[in-house]
Amino acid sequence: IVLVQTYHPGNIGAIARAMKTMGLKKLVLVDPREYPAEEASNRAAGALDVLNNATVVQTLPEALTDCTQVFATSARKRNYTRPQVTAEEAAGWVKRNPKEKIAIVFGRERMGLSNEQLGLCQQLLYIPGNPEYDVLNIGSAVQIVSYELFKQLGNHRDKGEIGEITQDSIKNTIAYASQQELERFYQHLESTLSATGFLVKNHPGEAMQRLQQMFARAQPNAKELRMLRGILGSVDKLIDE
């Protein structure tokens, strides 16, 4: 679970507690306004291990460096070019793709995620609700998403097991490219397309944004991305000649 620029420290504590009840342990805080904080510790009753082990970074790209699939969260469907899934559908995707390093990103309490931050994510996760009043606080949103993950992946208490999500409960599939690998590919793509004259040098603008959206929808795996980098490398050699 990744929290971006959380304003109220109490929300961080409540989220740590919500995560632990559903077997989640890894919490990443991106540029929180106040952390560590006494209020966060007070609200994390029984989940101080999750809270105290949280990783703090300054930017979202830092938080997503080794992630291969990133879900951005939203209170509702949006005009967004990536796949849009409910919390339940996202949990199903996670179960089907156990090899992936997955992050679920929650934005600021009032403003959510910026367009630039959304651009780092492959899918948009939304929580359907009452269309006449779809206001959901961040702690409740994390609790719902954590519960959907637990339903798909956790060992339920009514089966006599400890409720903790583990990779042992799911099957193996393909491995997607990491966020860091994608960023390097985009940099290589922009450089090559600029050299060919397709992009105006130093002003890639909308064309690169649309290309990134296209590749985000395609979700290439690591092997496919290496092939694409190889193609770009061949083009680079022709340009140098």
Whole-prediction pTM value?
Answer: 0.75
Does 226 have pLDDT greater than 60? Answer: yes
Does 34 have pLDDT greater than 90? Answer: yes
Question: Do residue 9 and residue 49 come from a single domain?
Answer: yes
Between 118 and 40, the more confident residue is 40
Q: What total of structural domains would you count in the chain?
A: 2
Residue range 85-94, pLDDT digits in tens = 999 999 999 9
- Within a domain: residue 221? yes
Residue range 119-163, pLDDT digits in tens = 889 899 999 888 888 788 999 999 999 999 999 987 554 444 434
Question: Do residue 229 and residue 142 come from a single domain?
Answer: no
Question: Do residue 73 and residue 26 come from a single domain?
Answer: yes
Question: Do residue 74 and residue 144 come from a single domain?
Answer: yes
Q: What percent of the chain has pLDDT over 90?
A: 56
Name the maximum alpha-carbon separation found in the chain: 68
Which pLDDT score is estimated for 163?
Answer: 43
Does 229 have pLDDT greater than 60? Answer: yes
Taking phi over 0 as left and psi of -120 to 50 as alpha, with beta for the rest, 32 belongs to beta
Domain range for 236 is: 179-240
Which pLDDT score is estimated for 172?
Answer: 46
Question: Do residue 64 and residue 112 come from a single domain?
Answer: yes
Question: Do residue 138 and residue 29 come from a single domain?
Answer: yes
Beta-carbon count within 10 A of 130 CB:
8
Question: Do residue 195 and residue 120 come from a single domain?
Answer: no
* Boundary-marking domain end, from 107, 139, 169: 169
* Boundary-marking domain end, from 139, 169, 199: 169
For residue 53, count CB atoms less than 10 angstroms from its CB and return exposed for 0-12, middle for 13-18, buried for 19 or more: exposed
Question: Do residue 96 and residue 159 come from a single domain?
Answer: yes
Question: Do residue 185 and residue 228 come from a single domain?
Answer: yes
- Per-residue pLDDT, averaged over 206-226, amounts to 85
Which pLDDT score is estimated for 170?
Answer: 42
